[in-house]
Structure 1
Amino acid sequence: MKRSAFLLPIAALAVLLLFSSIFVVDERQKALVLQFGRVVSVKEDPGLAFKLPLIQDVVFYDDRILSRDVDPIEVTPSDDRRLVVDAFARYRIIEVERFREAVGVGGIALAESRLDSILRSELREVLGSVSSNEILSEDRAALMMRIATGARAEALALGLQVIDVRLKRTDLPPQNLDATFARMRAEREREAADEIARGEEAAQRIRAQADRTVVELTSEAGREAEIVRGEADARRNAIFAGAFGEDPEFFEFYRSMTAYTRALQGQNSTLVLSPDSEFFDYLRTDQVTAD
């Protein structure tokens, strides 16, 4: 009984030591085994691994591709047109031992702080060597490649691999926006004024052409109307002449009736004529009785 009571704590201690010597490396991680702060082994393959209990510790690092947003910075391109650039990078830890030596207990936070400094330096150097138009054009892909290449060489000293760098946004500084917008507004207003002037000029040409066409059409129509009217008058005169030749008395009567119609219009028509005027031949009673 006394022996069982003595062996039970020893067994429990052995089990505890056994479990404390076993650790699991996830497929998304890499592990460093440290003994008194010094790296004694690197575990990169997933699965069970062992360490010395009590005297050895295990530190895990993410083996996945990580993303890092860089705080917006102001750069000055070669044309002195300042821009605010917002970028981000994708990276991963490829050498955990070198990473541990570079950042120590600061871990990923210290590594990202140093990576930010590297990226800001590369952004200023590369974007400062080109014009703002190149930064805002389709050539920015080549610029991002240059930034990534420069940052990749420096990041290796931290045990990091920079996969790529992207520019998320490129804006003007707030203090330059008003002036830029005013200049853009003035340019658009000038273009609008030019378009209006060209439109007015075209409208005047069209209006003048339309007026000319109206005059030509009116003149042509008047000429044709006069021709038709002349032909109609000639035909009418020919008919009257023919009628006069066949029955002169009827023609005289028709002309007199037409004259009466034109002269005796309205309710107060007054004519001052001699009583024996031929105008009244067909109005006299004796003439009507004789007929």
Structure 2
Amino acid sequence: MSNRLIIPLLSIALLVILAMNTLFIVKETERAVLLQFGRVVEADIQPGLHLKWPIVNEVRIFDARVLTVDARPERFLTVEKKGMIVDSFVKWRIADVGKYYTVTNGEESRAERLLAQRVNEGLRNAVAERSMQEVVSGERDQLMNELTSGLNGFTQESLGIEVVDVRVKRIDLPEQVSESVFSRMKAERDREAREHRSKGDEQAEIITADADRQRTILEAEAYRDSELLRGEGDAEAARIYAESFNKNPEFYAFVRSLNAYKETFKGREDVLLIDPESEFFRYLNDPRAGRQ
């Protein structure tokens, strides 16, 4: 490579190095401060392309989006001195870049640690002024809104941070308290179950008694109807028998005698002591007896 080519290449390399150390870009999602020998000379650099002096100036760029601090669950006491475990999180973003850098030295972890301490302190004070019912359901949203508003006044002034929202993810009772609460809930549910069971037994007794009563009524009505039908049948049979007997009395007398003989001499061991000339043997002694 000739000397004529080395000089232009070195010039280009120097220009690139100079541009890299002179120009910097701040994105739309970022905030930046310009330092001069460690001192802030420009606290809020807008997004775009900017210039700085090499070696003299330094640029610190931070994330300007909404960030989340997932606070560690803490134990708080309510106004009734009942403990509860509160798990919360905070949404925040940088509001004053210069103050944020001055207080935290631009360390996001330090900012989150300071913010988490303030959130825990605010939650502790807010929970201590309310009952468990109010914290869990009644005034939970109001508590979060008041806490967010109260924290904003402090964090913007002292940390340069805007608190967007504070929310409670979960509220649990301590283990020893949970066991007693669960035992009380179980006892209450057992009592309700016994009440429902006793009401069911009472209803079952009422239904069974009503069914027995209806069965008795139905059986009585069926027996009455059967007796009426049987009586009507017997009456009809007697009528038919009387009409038939009147048409040929001697024939039916003969048939009755045959049935009587059949029933009397049905078994071989049957013995009957009777006068052979009695009326019982009338048709045996004289087949024409009925014709006289």
Q: TM-score, normalised by structure 1?
A: 0.86
The residue number in structure 1 matching 2:108 is 108
Identity within the alignment, %: 36
Deviation at 1:191, TM superposition (A): 1.5
Change over 3 Å in CA distance of 1:44–1:55 after alignment to 2: closer
- 1:134-153 alignment to 2 at 5 Å? 134-137=134-137, 139-153=139-153
- 1:14-163 alignment to 2 at 5 Å? 16-104=17-105, 107-137=107-137, 139-156=139-156, 157-163=158-164
Change over 3 Å in CA distance of 1:263–1:57 after alignment to 2: farther
The residue number in structure 2 matching 1:198 is 199
The residue number in structure 2 matching 1:219 is 220
Change over 3 Å in CA distance of 1:222–1:150 after alignment to 2: same
Q: Secondary structure at the residue paired with 1:130?
A: coil
Equivalent residues of 1:263, 1:269 under 8 A apart: no
Deviation at 1:232, TM superposition (A): 1.2
Distance 2:271 2:201 in 1: 61
Distance 2:183 2:69 in 1: 36
Q: TM-score, normalised by structure 2?
A: 0.85
Distance 1:14 1:194 in 2: 90
Distance 1:124 1:258 in 2: 110
Distance 2:191 2:82 in 1: 23
The residue number in structure 1 matching 2:3 is none
The yes-or-no answer on 1:287 pairing with 2:286 is: yes
The residue number in structure 2 matching 1:181 is 182
Distance 2:207 2:141 in 1: 50
Q: Secondary structure at the residue paired with 1:71?
A: coil
State the Cα deviation string for residues 15-61 of structure 1 (Å, max 9, x = none): 64553222221222111111232210134322221222222221111
Give the gaps of 5 or more residues in structure 1: none
Change over 3 Å in CA distance of 1:24–1:271 after alignment to 2: same
Give the gaps of 5 or more residues in structure 2: 1-5
Deviation at 1:290, TM superposition (A): 5.7
Paired residues, number? 285
Equivalent residues of 2:148, 2:165 under 8 A apart: yes
Larger displacement relative to structure 2 (247-256 or 29-38): 247-256
Change over 3 Å in CA distance of 1:269–1:254 after alignment to 2: farther
Q: Secondary structure at the residue paired with 2:129?
A: coil
State the Cα deviation string for residues 182-222 of structure 1 (Å, max 9, x = none): 22222222221211111111111111111111111001111
Change over 3 Å in CA distance of 1:216–1:183 after alignment to 2: same
Deviation at 1:141, TM superposition (A): 2.4
Change over 3 Å in CA distance of 1:237–1:196 after alignment to 2: same
